[in-house]
Amino acid sequence: MSEPLRLGIAGLGTVGIGLVKLIRDNAELIEGRAGRKVVISAVSARDQSRDRGVALDGYAWETDPVALARRDDVDVYVELMGGDSGPAKDSIEAAIAAGKDVVTANKALLAHHGQALAEAAEAKGRVIRYEAAVAGGIPVIKALTEGLAGNRITRVMGVMNGTCNYILTRMQSAGLPYDTVFEEARQLGYLEADPNLDVGGIDAGHKLSILSSIAFGTQVDFDNVELEGIGAITIEDIEAAEDMGFRIKLLGVSQMTGRGLEQRMSPCLVPATSPLGQLAGGTNMVVIEGDAVGQIVLRGPGAGAGPTASAVIADVIDIARNFRMPVFGRPASMLNKARSARAAVSAPYYLRMNLLDKPGALAKIAGALGEAGISIDRMRQYGHADTAAPVLFVTHKTTRSAIDTALGAFAATGVLLGAPVALRIEMV
Ligand code: HSE
């Protein structure tokens, strides 16, 4: 039997403690599958005195994660602190420089510094593994790098922020406004310390940029993810979308177009009966399309102690087995810088607006759509509230720039009350 694989774990929050427990509870099973024991040499967190509900006295303690990463009795540095700079980045760089392999759940760090870290690790013959960084317990990194390795990937889509999916599905099922459900999510502890990471689409955008890199052989390019959060979604939109056979999801879509790589994380309408439309609560879903395989749908828990620890230990077991692979599935030196294409792919759109209830108002809006070259697929007008007539359109496929032209023209008609809402419909 080989020597034990020795871990240093930095970050003893929900995930770190979940990992410690999993390593203890499943020690025999892990040893059997890894071909060697997996042991914890040392841990690191800010506050040593806090009771974390699990005995940690058998492990050496470092207050400085950089010192942990450099310890001689650590083979694999496991970073579970989070953050796109500071201690997380410093300690991973220190681990690589000291010749350690790295396992992390840190999507923000990889989204911002993935290429540089991959180059540094590969120059040292080290691996960085990060299954837990994208969609929690769903083995999507393995699916892309291994199971689908022979496919030309055509599109990757996903609902990858459980908090946003909880908010949107709760608004829909309870008929509650965004602010009320946002507050509920806060009280349930679902929101990140900076809630904009969730509801602004940033967290999910980080994850999408990582998947894009693996899927399309490009350098991680988070700066060119078009980001739009869910803060402007109203209960009226959720109900109107439902009425037209759609559900609203914070959906990431990445695809290589003739003009370059398009990466979007934005609220979209998806068919209510599709797997994405049916996805409720905090669950995640990733849809991958490849030329040979067709479409794969992966669904599962995107966060939490057990699911995240499950993903981390899978990476650790691979390292224990001496299964090694380039960070983004092909050598970092061979990853191209992506040409970024914004709004390259046309789609049907959902438009909702309130019109002044007077003769010719609807004709002016329909005229503006026609002028912009947009064809109406379906249209619905609801009962009047005072002088306002709520109107919905579903368009045929069109471009974002045509929609923007139409929105500009609507403003000049003088028949609009308030701002119109325009959301893309993603056919999945
Ligand atoms: N805040 C994230 C979510 C946690 O809600 O999915 C995992 O990144």
- Domain of 399: which CATH number? 3.30.70.260
Whether 237 is covered by a domain: the verdict is: yes
| C-alpha 231 – ligand 1 centre gap (Å) | 16
User: Using a 6 Å CB cutoff, which residues line ligand 1?
Assistant: 161-163, 192, 198, 203, 302-303
Tens digit of each residue's pLDDT, the chain (428 residues): 589 999 999 999 999 999 999 999 999 999 999 999 999 999 999 998 899 999 999 999 999 999 999 999 999 999 999 999 999 999 999 999 999 999 999 999 999 999 999 999 999 999 999 999 999 999 999 999 999 999 999 999 999 999 999 999 999 999 999 999 999 999 999 999 999 999 999 999 999 999 999 999 999 999 999 999 999 999 999 999 999 999 999 999 999 999 999 999 999 999 999 999 999 999 999 999 999 999 999 999 999 999 999 999 999 999 999 999 999 999 999 999 999 998 888 999 999 999 998 899 999 999 999 999 999 999 999 887 777 889 999 999 999 999 999 999 999 999 999 999 999 999 88
Among the listed residues 89, 100, 107, 207, the single catalytic one is: 207
Q: Which residue, of 241, 275, 301, is where some domain finishes?
A: 301
Whether 356 is covered by a domain: the verdict is: yes
* pLDDT 10s digits, 65-103: 999 999 999 999 999 999 999 999 999 999 999 999 999
User: Do residues 38 and 7 make contact, with C-beta atoms less than 8 angstroms apart?
Assistant: yes
Whether 413 is covered by a domain: the verdict is: yes
Q: Is 207 a catalytic residue?
A: yes
Co-location of 98 and 187 in the same domain = no
Co-location of 188 and 278 in the same domain = yes
Separation CA 8–CA 104 (nearest Å): 12
Co-location of 159 and 296 in the same domain = yes
Mean pLDDT (the chain) is: 96
Co-location of 78 and 159 in the same domain = no
Co-location of 62 and 32 in the same domain = yes
Q: Specify the pLDDT at position 1.
A: 59
Co-location of 193 and 257 in the same domain = yes
| C-alpha 96 – ligand 1 centre gap (Å) | 27
Atom of ligand 1 nearest to the CA of 164: 5
Separation CA 133–CA 82 (nearest Å): 10
Co-location of 92 and 151 in the same domain = no
- Domain of 109: which CATH number? 3.40.50.720
Choosing from 188, 198, 265 the residue with most ligand 1 atoms within 8 A of its CB, the one to mutate for a pocket test is 198
Q: How many domains does the chain have?
A: 3
Co-location of 145 and 273 in the same domain = yes
Q: Specify the pLDDT at position 388.
A: 87
Co-location of 28 and 99 in the same domain = yes
Segments forming the whole domain that contains residue 357: 349-425
- Predicted structure pTM score: 0.95
Co-location of 116 and 147 in the same domain = no
Co-location of 369 and 405 in the same domain = yes
Whole-angstrom Cα Rg for the chain:
24
Q: Specify the pLDDT at position 419.
A: 93
Co-location of 151 and 116 in the same domain = no
Minimal-distance CA residue to ligand 1 atom 2? 161
Question: Alpha carbon of 93 to those of 70, 115, 238: distances in Å?
Answer: 10, 13, 45
Q: Which residues pair with 353 in a beta bridge?
A: 391
